């Protein structure tokens, strides 16, 4: 079959150069409260969305929580919802403030 003639200029030459690729996503330190993946700095410390929201609601509603153990519960990604008292205490301990 006969060769198909192509234009001497490719269409790419007429299109402005594509914008530079987006910067890589920011990597934050793990949540200072529960060690889950942090979404940024909230209330002064690197924290996850869960701890950010928990702290905000606790402060806005002036919540008073009670620990049913020895006020020294372990707070991590798995256990953070078990004791609100100790979670809020840890928020303050790691430096969260209004």
Q: Which fold has domain 26-93?
A: Erythroid Transcription Factor GATA-1; Chain A (3.30.50)
pLDDT at 50: 99
Two tokens, residue 92: 């303050």
45-61 burial by CB neighbour count: b if 16+ within 10 A, else e? bbbbebbbebbeebeee
pLDDT at 3: 62
**Cβ atoms of 90 and 45 closer than 8 Å:** no
Which pLDDT band holds residue 19 (cuts at 50, 70, 90)?
confident
Domain boundaries of the chain, sorted by first residue: 26-93
pLDDT at 90: 99
pLDDT at 73: 99
pTM score of the predicted model: 0.75
Average pLDDT score over residue span 1-24: 62
Give 36-73 pLDDT, tens digit per residue: 999 999 999 999 999 999 999 999 999 999 999 999 99
């Amino acid at each position: 079959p006969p060769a198909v003639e192509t234009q001497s200029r490719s269409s790419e030459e007429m299109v402005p150069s594509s914008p530079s690729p987006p910067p890589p996503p920011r990597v934050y330190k793990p949540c200072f409260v529960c060690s889950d993946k942090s979404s940024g700095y909230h209330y002064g410390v690197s924290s996850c969305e869960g701890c950010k929201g928990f702290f905000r609601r606790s402060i806005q509603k002036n919540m008073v929580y009670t620990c049913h153990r020895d006020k020294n519960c372990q707070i991590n990604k798995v256990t953070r919802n078990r004791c609100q008292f100790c979670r809020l205490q840890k928020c303050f301990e790691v430096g969260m403030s209004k």
